[in-house]
Structure 1
Amino acid sequence: MTGPVVVGIDGSSTCTSAAWWAAREAAVRQVPLHLVHSWTTQPHGMPGGMEAEGQRRYGQDVLRQTATELLHRYAGLRLTTEMVAAPAAQDLLDRSRDAELLVLGSRAPGSAAGFLLGSTARHVVGLTRCPAVVVRRDDPTVEVGRGPAGAADRDEIVVGVPEPGPAADAVLEFAFTTADARGDVVRAVTAVRRFPGAPDDGDPRAGLAAALAPWQVKFPGVGVVERVAAGPADQVLLTSCARSRLLVVGRRPHPSHVAWELRPTVHAAVRHAPCPVAVVPHG
């Protein structure tokens, strides 16, 4: 059985954008959408000191209002809601074992005020078992309310492809599955570094083609654009996103659930990409 798309909401405009993106993705994938609110985790900017009963009422109102708006737009959507007492990050990580994907809200790219709403989303993106999609507030690719998304010309899923192997397979499976459901093109990107005296590690274009080959057979209806470019991986990926509806990057597993960090490419993608970013665990 396919798991649901799970999105954590807190009533903020940031999480509203994430909820609308998640609703459309669940509708396209034909899977359930599950809205979760942690009443013990205060939304960013909410005045402190609210009593427990008031926090619960607030959470119930947020869930009810969000569900009503989403069902008005996506009438056939299978939608459930749940209010939990567990901290938001821990609850979402627990759900990542069975979810199709998690969806999280983000502030504006490069915001100095904080990264991904602070520690909650950092923790989730760094440790989730399933892919996590980060959606920033007012993202032009996101359809909110009854109006259309503002970037209708975006029709590509950009994916950063490492060397052939389990890491490449994980991100390519997610990218091709998403593109197939949406009718988008996959732009597969590999970054290479060349410097004097560096050993020749083969033709990177041949390596990219080899990594793509089985997925092109499995998804023959998905168009593919290949790009191999020299430079740091984060810069190469960000310059490939002009027509991107979604950027897909991989994340290595962490040996510890206490000490972890996002590698620079993932960190840069989430902070600066002009579209939602899917972080796919692999290995």
Structure 2
Amino acid sequence: MVHTVVAGFDGSAESRAAAEWAAREAKLRGLPLKLVHVWEPVPEPIAQAPLLGAETQQHWSERIPREAAEGLRRRHPGVDVTVEQISGRPGEVLTRVAKDAELLVLGSRGLSGIGGFMVGSVGQAVVAGAEQPVVLVRAGEQAADEHAMDPAGIPSAATPFRPVVLGLDTDTPHEAVIEFAFDTALRRETDLLVVHGWNPPPYYAYGIPVDGGLHAELSKKDAAALKDVLRPWRQKFPAVEVIEESRFGSPAIHLVDVSREASLVVVGRRIRRSPLGAHIGPVTHAVLHHAAAPVAVIAHG
């Protein structure tokens, strides 16, 4: 099976941003890129109504994805770009397509005036259901956004990539999440910033005076645990410069904070098969909605 990078495409600004990001990622990984356009059938009574002419429907379902692929080929020479059109419900189709992809990239509307994503129902359903890595990219995301500032204070594709950020739970670390982050940093030849947020004993929340010595001891213990988890990965990826940050407080808040200087934020999602359906988890949910950089969600057991 030939692995691909897949981007969901519907012609919107957010899907175009996702396609551009996916093309850059496909080039980094040496993989082909497939644009998947999902055509959702309309109910029969509506389908019979003369709302859209045949030519307009054909333009939307064929011409726009084809022209987008042509533009990607010009801007990203060497990347094999194909288009696939599939009929069905977007959330279900994209989740199914992700099974045969190395990476699925989706667009999301940006929140006006502040960093963060407006994750629609399709995006949330795919992130919660797909077992392959899913990356969310905001509308308007540019190539330069992933790079450090040049001497003039302007981000440029000619400057190095900003760090990749990994949100890590040291109590239940998962290899798929960690390996994705290290591999991504290696491909970008950039640093990996690993952030772990830890919380104090319950009595801190009830106004009991803080024991400074205990706080320092807990902080030291947590930093040591983080170092222990990362030690074998440092050995496996010796070319990756790793920065470890064990921070007191909410991991979601810390990840959102550091996302402003990141090229990509990597978080995990536990695969849960339940009659009530899948869900994303509170930290990943918060990062998805408030991070200022593209977010990769890695499913794990």
Q: Give, in angstroms, the shift of residue 66 of structure 1.
A: 0.8
Number of residue pairs matched?
272
Counterpart for residue 45 of structure 1: none
- The gaps in structure 2 that reach 5 residues or longer are 43-49, 146-153, 205-213
Give, in whole Å, the separation in 1 of the partners of 2:51 and 2:258: 46
The worse-fitting range, judged by mean Cα deviation, of 59-68 and 48-57 is: 48-57
1:278–1:261: structure 2 CA closer, same or farther, 3 Å change rule? same
The worse-fitting range, judged by mean Cα deviation, of 261-270 and 127-136 is: 261-270
Q: 1:104, 1:134 within 8 Å by CA — same for their partners in 2?
A: yes
- 1:221-251 deviations in whole A, cap 9, x for unaligned? 1111000001111101112223200000100
Structure 1 or 2: larger helix share?
A: 2
Q: 1:164, 1:210 within 8 Å by CA — same for their partners in 2?
A: no
Of the candidates 224, 249, 254, which is equivalent to residue 242 of structure 2? Answer: 224
Residue 248 of structure 1 aligns to a residue in which SS?
A: strand
Counterpart for residue 189 of structure 2: 183
1:207–1:52: structure 2 CA closer, same or farther, 3 Å change rule? farther
- The gaps in structure 1 that reach 5 residues or longer are 43-47, 144-148
TM-score, L = length of structure 1: 0.86
Give, in whole Å, the separation in 2 of the partners of 1:69 and 1:247: 27
TM-score, L = length of structure 2: 0.81
1:172–1:51: structure 2 CA closer, same or farther, 3 Å change rule? farther
Matches within 5 A, 1:1-283: 3-40=3-40, 49-50=51-52, 54-109=56-111, 115-116=118-119, 118-141=120-143, 150=155, 154-163=161-170, 165=172, 167-195=173-201, 197=203, 203-256=221-274, 259-283=277-301
Give, in whole Å, the separation in 2 of the partners of 1:255 and 1:240: 32
Q: 2:192, 2:241 within 8 Å by CA — same for their partners in 1?
A: yes
Give, in whole Å, the separation in 1 of the partners of 2:262 and 2:276: 34
Larger radius of gyration: 2
1:234–1:72: structure 2 CA closer, same or farther, 3 Å change rule? same
1:191–1:173: structure 2 CA closer, same or farther, 3 Å change rule? same
Give, in whole Å, the separation in 2 of the partners of 1:244 and 1:58: 35
Give, in whole Å, the separation in 2 of the partners of 1:5 and 1:262: 22
Q: Percent of aligned pairs with the same residue?
A: 35
- 1:40-81 deviations in whole A, cap 9, x for unaligned? 279xxxxx9446774343121121111111100112112211
Q: 2:110, 2:118 within 8 Å by CA — same for their partners in 1?
A: no
1:56–1:83: structure 2 CA closer, same or farther, 3 Å change rule? farther
Give, in whole Å, the separation in 1 of the partners of 2:275 and 2:30: 32
Q: 1:39, 1:56 within 8 Å by CA — same for their partners in 2?
A: no
Give, in whole Å, the separation in 2 of the partners of 1:236 and 1:222: 22
**Alignment RMSD (CA, Å):** 2.9
Give, in whole Å, the separation in 1 of the partners of 2:274 and 2:144: 34
Q: 1:17, 1:142 within 8 Å by CA — same for their partners in 2?
A: no
